[in-house]
């Protein structure tokens, strides 16, 4: 007789099990896990704490707690058990057998949410790859009629491969195919990022704990319509838009996936190209829910993930969002001497304090820009084209002898263009970098 049970297609009524060490029963852990479950579409019918002196190798929890969980499932008609821990394959299998219900651990739950939210081609490939890697350790034998068979007599030799081995082989082939497709997509994404680097467009990335309000702030700054919802991992795929109207000129803003405590390492690895928007940014806007009593812990947890993906040393600007939920809090800018850790207090949903953030961005990126009016001869068509390609031309007037250009561009771009264009570049250098307003251009002090 096979030890199998019929898996419900509904899978929505869930019992949540929260394991904890003695003296470490943190209600915030269960609250966050509950939000994860709701974000995945589960209806929470009951919760159960499980005090663990040490993890049980067979089911994580002891047999007595497992019996109690089965009784709670029967009482509330739960057909899904969510465990806020990482289960080994044998623990997951034994729990399913003991409870007679589907069991999903924390990693599986986050993977399920990511699978629901992925929209881009790259995002879907990354999620599927992470899911298959997770599944690879959890294949079990459910096809007893395809057991490696029955001896070596004539007429009784089988195909020589069990269904389990076939599944593993097919899964490995699919993983290899996904890796190859992702490598091609990553090349394309890298080329796009390099184009932005060549054009010297400043890049800012929104990072932060999930549900801190990053996408709402993104929409407010870029005047776009990225999906926003009060749920964990509402945004998965990165989105890049221009921030219009900054005094410093063009700045690109990227909205990235939110972080969460104990984010599975396989997911961090799978989404390394997606998180490249954060790793390759010039500035990180670290968005924090100001009303969260654990906000300092959240900041530390996000910093840990940033360090893991190679973005730990990038300059940061802390954005304390949702101050309308904090009694007495007003929009303000706290300038801190430590580089990159100034704080802007605002409410993205209403726009209160957002202008302070825009001014701070303009101040930071405006310090290294030059602005001047220059004259190019008609023979400098290549240089003129490169200036337009760099987005440096604000206005142009042409006559039969050449062009008068109003330029506004990063000093680094100006120096690179001047150095690469020979005699014409030297002529541009004399006009542009030697212009009185080019020495220390500040968009707030400019009069023209």
Neighbours of 13 (CB within 10 A): 18
**Is 447 inside a domain boundary?**
no
Of 251-255, 275-279, 385-389, give the lowest mean pLDDT range. Answer: 275-279
| Structural domain span for residue 187 | 118-139+163-200
Domain stop point among 312, 330, 365 = 365
User: What's the rounded Cα separation, in Å, for the pair 163 and 166?
Assistant: 5
User: What's the rounded Cα separation, in Å, for the pair 321 and 325?
Assistant: 9
Domain CATH for 226 = 3.40.50.300
Q: What is the pLDDT of residue 99?
A: 94
**Is 102 inside a domain boundary?**
yes
412 φ/ψ angles, rounded to the nearest 5 degrees: -60, -40
> Which tokens is 264 given?
């599975």
> Which tokens is 239 given?
């989105």
- The answer to whether residues 218 and 195 belong to one domain is no
User: What's the rounded Cα separation, in Å, for the pair 69 and 81?
Assistant: 9
Q: What is the pLDDT of residues 22-61, one digit of tens each?
A: 888 878 888 888 988 988 889 999 999 999 988 899 999 9
User: What's the rounded Cα separation, in Å, for the pair 3 and 17?
Assistant: 24
More confident residue, 385 or 346: 346
- The answer to whether residues 218 and 178 belong to one domain is no
262 class by beta-carbon count within 10 Å (0-12 exposed, 13-18 middle, 19+ buried): middle
- The answer to whether residues 271 and 127 belong to one domain is no
Q: What is the pLDDT of residue 386?
A: 85
User: What's the rounded Cα separation, in Å, for the pair 286 and 343?
Assistant: 9
Domain stop point among 324, 348, 365 = 365
- The answer to whether residues 206 and 350 belong to one domain is yes
Mean pLDDT to the nearest integer, 251-276: 70
Strand order in the sheet with 316-321: 239-242, 252-255, 203-208, 283-289, 316-321, 343-345, 332-334
User: What's the rounded Cα separation, in Å, for the pair 341 and 422?
Assistant: 41
> Which tokens is 415 given?
């120096």
- The answer to whether residues 258 and 289 belong to one domain is yes
User: What's the rounded Cα separation, in Å, for the pair 10 and 21?
Assistant: 32
Q: What is the pLDDT of residue 339?
A: 53
Q: What is the pLDDT of residue 444?
A: 32
Are 61 and 52 in contact, with CB atoms under 8 Å apart? yes
209 class by beta-carbon count within 10 Å (0-12 exposed, 13-18 middle, 19+ buried): buried
**Is 44 inside a domain boundary?**
yes
Domain CATH for 422 = 3.30.70
Q: Pairing relation of β-strands 369-377 and 402-410? A: antiparallel
**Is 1 inside a domain boundary?**
no
**Is 155 inside a domain boundary?**
no
**Is 236 inside a domain boundary?**
yes
- The answer to whether residues 40 and 127 belong to one domain is no
- The answer to whether residues 233 and 268 belong to one domain is yes
Q: What is the pLDDT of residue 307?
A: 86
**Is 144 inside a domain boundary?**
no
User: What's the rounded Cα separation, in Å, for the pair 19 and 205?
Assistant: 35
DSSP classification of residue 144: G
Q: How far is CA 309 from CA 124, 197, 397, in A?
A: 20, 20, 47
Mean confidence (pLDDT) of the chain: 79
pLDDT over threshold 60, residue 229: no
Q: What is the pLDDT of residue 309?
A: 77
- The answer to whether residues 180 and 308 belong to one domain is no
Q: What is the pLDDT of residues 94-152, one digit of tens each?
A: 999 999 999 999 888 888 887 777 766 777 787 788 788 877 777 665 444 444 444 44
- The answer to whether residues 300 and 414 belong to one domain is no
Domain stop point among 308, 335, 365 = 365
pTM of the entire structure? 0.66
- The answer to whether residues 224 and 196 belong to one domain is no
Q: What is the pLDDT of residues 170-190, one digit of tens each?
A: 888 888 888 888 778 777 766
More confident residue, 220 or 152: 220
Long-range CB contacts for residues 234-238, cutoff 8 Å, separation at least 24: 234/39, 234/117, 234/210, 234/258, 235/117, 236/114, 236/117, 236/118, 236/119, 236/123, 237/117, 237/118, 237/119, 237/120, 237/122, 237/123, 237/274, 238/274, 238/277
Number of domains in the chain: 4
Domain CATH for 49 = 3.40.50.11060
Q: Pairing relation of β-strands 43-51 and 13-20? A: parallel
User: What's the rounded Cα separation, in Å, for the pair 429 and 418?
Assistant: 6
**Is 85 inside a domain boundary?**
yes
| Residue among 273, 89, 117 nearest 185 (CA) | 273
- The answer to whether residues 205 and 337 belong to one domain is yes
- The answer to whether residues 381 and 246 belong to one domain is no
> Which tokens is 225 given?
């319509």
């Amino acid at each position: 007789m096979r030890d199998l049970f019929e898996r419900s297609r509904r899978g929505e009524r869930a019992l949540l099990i929260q394991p904890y060490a003695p003296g470490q029963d943190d209600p915030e852990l269960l609250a966050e896990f509950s939000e994860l479950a709701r974000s995945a579409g589960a209806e929470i019918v009951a919760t159960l704490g499980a005090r663990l002196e040490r993890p049980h190798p067979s089911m994580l929890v002891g047999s007595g707690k497992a019996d109690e969980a089965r009784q709670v499932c029967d009482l509330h008609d739960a057909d899904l058990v969510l465990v806020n821990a990482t289960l080994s394959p044998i623990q997951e299998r034994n729990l399913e057998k003991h409870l007679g219900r589907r069991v999903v651990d924390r990693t599986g739950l986050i993977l399920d949410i990511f699978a629901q939210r992925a929209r881009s081609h790259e995002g879907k490939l990354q999620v599927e790859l992470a899911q298959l890697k997770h599944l690879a350790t959890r294949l079990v034998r459910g096809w007893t009629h395809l057991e490696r068979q029955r001896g070596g007599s004539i007429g009784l030799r089988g195909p020589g491969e069990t269904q389990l081995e076939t599944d593993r082989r097919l899964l490995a082939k699919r993983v290899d195919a996904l890796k190859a497709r992702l490598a091609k997509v990553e090349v394309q994404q890298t080329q796009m990022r390099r184009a932005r680097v060549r054009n010297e467009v400043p890049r800012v990335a929104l990072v932060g704990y999930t549900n801190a309000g990053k996408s709402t702030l993104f929409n407010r700054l870029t005047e776009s319509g990225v999906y926003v919802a009060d749920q964990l991992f509402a945004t998965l795929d990165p989105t890049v838009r221009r921030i219009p109207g900054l005094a410093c000129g063009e700045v690109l803003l990227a909205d990235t996936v939110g972080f969460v405590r104990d984010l599975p390492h396989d997911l961090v690895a799978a989404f390394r190209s997606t998180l490249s928007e954060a790793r390759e940014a010039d500035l990180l806007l670290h968005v924090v829910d100001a009303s969260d009593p654990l906000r300092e812990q959240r900041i530390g947890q996000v910093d840990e993930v940033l360090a893991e993906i190679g973005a730990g040393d990038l300059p940061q600007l802390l954005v304390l969002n949702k101050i309308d939920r904090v009694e007495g809090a007003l929009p303000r800018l706290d300038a801190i001497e430590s580089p990159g850790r100034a704080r802007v207090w605002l409410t993205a949903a209403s726009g209160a304090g957002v202008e302070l953030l825009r001014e701070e961005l303009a101040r930071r990126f405006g310090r290294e820009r030059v602005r001047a009016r220059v004259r190019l001869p008609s023979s400098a068509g290549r240089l003129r084209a490169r200036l337009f390609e760099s987005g440096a031309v604000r206005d142009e007037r042409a006559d039969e002898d050449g062009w008068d250009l109003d330029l506004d561009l990063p000093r680094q771009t100006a120096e690179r263009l001047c150095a690469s264009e020979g005699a014409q570049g030297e002529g541009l250098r004399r006009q542009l970098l030697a212009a009185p307003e080019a020495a220390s251009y500040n968009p707030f002090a400019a009069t023209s």
